Amino acid sequence: MGTPPCLTGVEEKSHYTLAADEKLGVLLLNTGGPETLNDVQPFLYNLFSDPDVIRLPRLFKFLQRPLAKLVSVFLALRTKERYAAIGGGSPLRRLTDEQADALRMALEDKNVHADVYVGMRYWYPFIEQAVQQIKRDGITKLVVLPLFPQFSISTTGSSIGVFRYIFRQDAYLSRLPVSVILSWYQRHGYIKSMADLIETELGKFGKPEEVMVLFSAHGVPISYVEDAGDPYKDQMEECIYLITQELKARGIGNDHTLAYQSRVGPLQWLKPYTTEVLVELGRKGVKSVLAVPISFVSEHIETLEEIDMGYKDLALGSGIENWGRVPALGCTSSFIRDLADAVVEALPFAKALESDCA
Ligand SMILES: C=CC1=C(C)c2cc3[nH]c(cc4nc(cc5[nH]c(cc1n2)c(C)c5CCC(=O)O)C(CCC(=O)O)=C4C)c(C)c3C=C
Ligand SMILES: [Fe+2]
Ligand SMILES: [Fe+2]
């Protein structure tokens, strides 16, 4: 059967048939986002209360919640302005629900009947709520699919941590066969879908071959990678290699570069920062840039506000004349079909969490 998905992501094709008495569930994990401006501060509080987001030494763990309160209040005003600029809240819940629906239908097309649930780490519907629904519905086999292509301690790691904690508390859930897909950035369907989007957006420039393709990944503090062993940076670089190879195979050999966005706080984050790269590209005389958000599969504040408003203005003010941005994959059908394949391929590996490769 090969290596379990919890170690590699899932590559091989399998032909799994659900038994008649099996009830399959798929749990999509995401961060969630504030739906109104009043939600912003409590959302930020939940986010900064996460020990995988503000990583304190063991001795200082007691400061986690006071610190979360302080930082959330401090950031709330500016963050509210940013959510106000994209319509007064995050579209993430709606977009993730749409992806869940699309995935359910794509599975149906493969004759796999599944209920698809959405569990958010920091806002409604919380992972806890989704799991209670899974229990109520009598699901007998579950695939957990975080909507982050690359694994980071701060995203997939944190969400899976909560998920495992809830499951291990409950006699029924701890016996439920579960397959957790930890990352899927190397899946051919995803890589091809990203290349399709890039090819389409390049075609909108006057001289497509002269466009600099700027992959903008969400940053994490450098200590995550260097001290805590977060595979995020390596996976990001491999992902971009695979996308650019796919583009080359199509005869698209544009210059490209990778930079990291969305830094918060005083720590050093992965470099180079997207802001600095944009200024540098302008200084070097690059005239056309296509920004490719690479850590996200749905539109949210960091695409709609940070890239479309902040980085675009910075680029145009730095001498870059032509600006484009690749949309998030959202419900792109080739992408959703690939997620459906990933779910089916993960099924044979489902086992009770107690015996999982945690
Ligand atoms: C791969 C994606 C993400 C990584 C890595 C990540 C790390 C990370 N984020 C923060 C701080 C914030 N995150 C916020 C919101 C937010 N973050 C992601 C994704 C990643 N975060 C998403 C999808 C969202 C939700 C966006 C929405 O539309 O609501 C926020 C609040 C919004 C903002 O200010 O941009 C903060 C703050 C840290 C500190 C971190 C790594 C340690
Ligand atoms: Fe974040
Ligand atoms: Fe962020």
Tens digit of pLDDT for each residue in 305-334? Answer: 999 999 999 999 999 999 999 999 999 999
The pTM of this model reads 0.94
Tens digit of pLDDT for each residue in 40-72? Answer: 999 999 999 999 999 999 999 999 999 999 999
Asked if pLDDT for residue 77 goes beyond 60, the answer is yes
Select 188-325's CATH number: 1.10.10.10, 3.40.50.1400, 3.40.190.10, 3.30.1490.190.
Answer: 3.40.50.1400
Residues with CB under 6 A from ligand 1: 31, 33, 47, 53, 79, 90, 92, 148, 152, 154-155, 218, 220-221, 262, 264, 295, 300-302
Q: Tokens 């720590």 belong to which residue?
A: 267
C-alpha 202 to ligand 1 mean position (Å)? 28
Q: Tokens 């995803």 belong to which residue?
A: 190
Which listed ligand is nearest to 82 at the C-alpha? 1
C-alpha 206 to ligand 3 mean position (Å)? 32
* Closest of 226, 236, 270 to residue 256, by C-alpha: 236
Q: Residue 11's pLDDT is what?
A: 40
The residue contributing the CA closest to ligand 1 atom 5 is 218
Q: Residue 135's pLDDT is what?
A: 97
Instruction: Give CATH 3.40.50.1400 domain extents, the chain.
Output: 188-325
Q: Residue 18's pLDDT is what?
A: 76
Angle at alpha carbon of residue 187, lines to 33 and 202, rounded to 5°: 75
ipTM value for the complex: 0.95
Q: What's the distance, CA 7 to chain centroid?
A: 18
The residue contributing the CA closest to ligand 1 atom 42 is 53
Q: Say which amino acid occupies 190.
A: Y
Tens digit of pLDDT for each residue in 162-221? Answer: 999 999 999 999 999 999 999 999 999 999 999 999 999 999 999 999 999 999 999 999
- Straight-line distance from the first to the last Cα atom of the chain, in angstroms, rounded to the nearest whole number: 19
Pocket of ligand 1, candidates 47, 95, 183: which has the most ligand atoms within 8 Å of its Cβ, to mutate?
Answer: 47
Q: Residue 14's pLDDT is what?
A: 47
Q: How far apart are CA 154 and CA 158, in angstroms?
A: 6
* Closest of 185, 191, 23 to residue 117, by C-alpha: 23
Tens digit of pLDDT for each residue in 115-150? Answer: 999 999 999 999 999 999 999 999 999 999 999 999
